[in-house]
């Protein structure tokens, strides 16, 4: 009953419609003010920001400074989202996160560790198979600064995306549509569209959206099956953190002082399709066995109860327990 947790606060449709717009404005515009100021000071012009050229901005500000300011937009957005949910919806952050009585950090860490290991293995296997595509990029001082920024802020960046898409938007769409399949597919599609302006798309074409939409669908499935965001929070943090620390390239959204630099001319290949069609299904199997998921059809496509039904079933206002 993760979606129905919205009923524990004020769940009027207009609160969600306004909230999605307000939080997006705080995230994208107010959150971007520090970056705009830094570019004005260093470059005396915002033309570079309008061009969207991450490489040029990194040259002007420095890779670590640019990364910090980019991640700061998400931190400000996350603060804005939590404030809106608390003040306007009167909903607890725990109820936005999970159907359990409290956030299960063991689930967060399990998903983080398993995906960090898998994604790291993929990266180093590719380096061993195609060494000509990589340059060793390690420089101690910039890397240590990168590590500090990444460890502290990337989990906040990924949490903003998860709370906004798989949390706030999924709960809002779910209680408006009164089912689970609409928020699952809408949030997955929007997650892909949200990345359409990434430099990776410009370099490899729109086919890479298969990866983004597929990843959004995977994250939506584990959220609904597990009745909470914990697994999605851990997975997403591991994905972005390993990418930022291990490999960078001139055509990626994260251009960092990482261990390696990818100097190849990127093409849409197996590395995009294998995670979606092979690795994600395996992870779903692992999660389903560990957390004893059942009744997949109902959890992914079934109806969301009305507010009256949900509150009647939970008249003592006790949070829904996870049977596992």
Mean pLDDT to the nearest integer, 164-177: 97
Residues present in the chain in total: 324
Edge-to-edge order in the sheet of strand 260-262? 134-136, 260-262, 247-249
Residue 112 is encoded by which pair of tokens?
A: 């983080």
Q: Taking all residues of the chain, what is their mean pLDDT, rounded to a whole number? A: 92
pLDDT tens track for 260-316: 999 988 888 777 889 999 999 999 999 999 999 999 999 999 999 999 888 888 865
pLDDT confidence tier of residue 50, bands split at 50, 70 and 90: low
Query: Is the pLDDT confidence value at 142 over 50?
Result: yes
Dihedral sign for Cα atoms in the order 58, 59, 62, 64? positive
Lowest mean pLDDT among 107-121, 244-258, 289-303: 244-258
Which of 150, 26, 34 lies closest to 49 in space, CA to CA?
Answer: 34
pLDDT confidence tier of residue 323, bands split at 50, 70 and 90: very low
Higher pLDDT pick, 321 / 51: 51
Residue 293 is encoded by which pair of tokens?
A: 């998921």
What local confidence, expressed as pLDDT, does residue 324 receive? 39
Name the helix (H) or strand (E) containing 246.
Answer: helix 230-246
What's the CA dihedral at 264, 258, 243, 23 to 10 degrees? -120
Whether 301 and 180 have beta carbons less than 8 Å apart is answered as yes
What local confidence, expressed as pLDDT, does residue 134 receive? 96
Mean pLDDT to the nearest integer, 56-64: 88
Query: Is the pLDDT confidence value at 318 over 60?
Result: no
Strand spans (E) along the chain:
134-136, 247-249, 260-262
Whether 19 and 84 have beta carbons less than 8 Å apart is answered as yes
DSSP 163: I
- What pTM does this model have? 0.93
> Which residues on adjacent β-strands are paired with residue 247?
260
């Amino acid at each position: 009953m993760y979606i129905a947790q919205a009923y524990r606060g004020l769940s009027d449709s207009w609160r969600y419609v306004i909230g999605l717009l307000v939080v997006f404005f705080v995230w994208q515009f107010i959150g971007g003010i520090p970056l705009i100021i830094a570019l004005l000071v260093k470059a005396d012009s915002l033309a570079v920001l309008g061009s969207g050229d991450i490489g040029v901005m990194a040259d002007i500000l420095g890779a670590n400074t640019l990364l910090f300011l980019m991640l700061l937009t998400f931190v400000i957005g996350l603060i804005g989202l939590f404030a809106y949910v608390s003040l306007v919806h009167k909903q607890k952050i725990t109820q936005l996160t999970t159907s359990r009585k409290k956030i299960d950090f063991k689930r967060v860490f399990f998903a983080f560790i398993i995906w960090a290991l898998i994604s790291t293995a993929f990266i180093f296997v590719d380096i061993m198979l195609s060494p000509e595509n990589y340059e060793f990029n390690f420089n101690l001082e910039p890397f240590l600064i990168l590590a500090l920024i990444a460890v502290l802020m990337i989990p906040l960046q990924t949490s903003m995306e998860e709370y906004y898409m798989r949390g706030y938007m999924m709960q809002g769409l779910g209680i408006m549509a009164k089912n689970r399949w609409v928020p699952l597919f809408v949030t997955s599609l929007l997650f892909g569209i949200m990345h359409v302006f990434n430099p990776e798309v410009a370099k490899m074409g729109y086919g890479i959206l298969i990866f983004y939409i597929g990843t959004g669908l995977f994250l939506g499935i584990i959220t609904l099956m597990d009745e909470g965001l914990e697994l999605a929070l851990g997975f997403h943090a591991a994905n972005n953190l390993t990418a930022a620390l291990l490999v960078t390239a001139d055509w990626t959204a994260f251009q960092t002082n990482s261990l390696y630099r990818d100097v190849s001319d990127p093409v849409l290949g197996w590395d995009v399709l294998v995670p979606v069609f092979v690795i994600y299904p395996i992870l779903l199997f692992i999660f389903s066995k560990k957390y004893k998921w059942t009744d997949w059809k109902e959890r992914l496509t079934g109806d969301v109860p009305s507010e009256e039904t949900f509150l009647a079933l939970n008249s003592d206002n006790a949070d829904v327990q996870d049977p596992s």
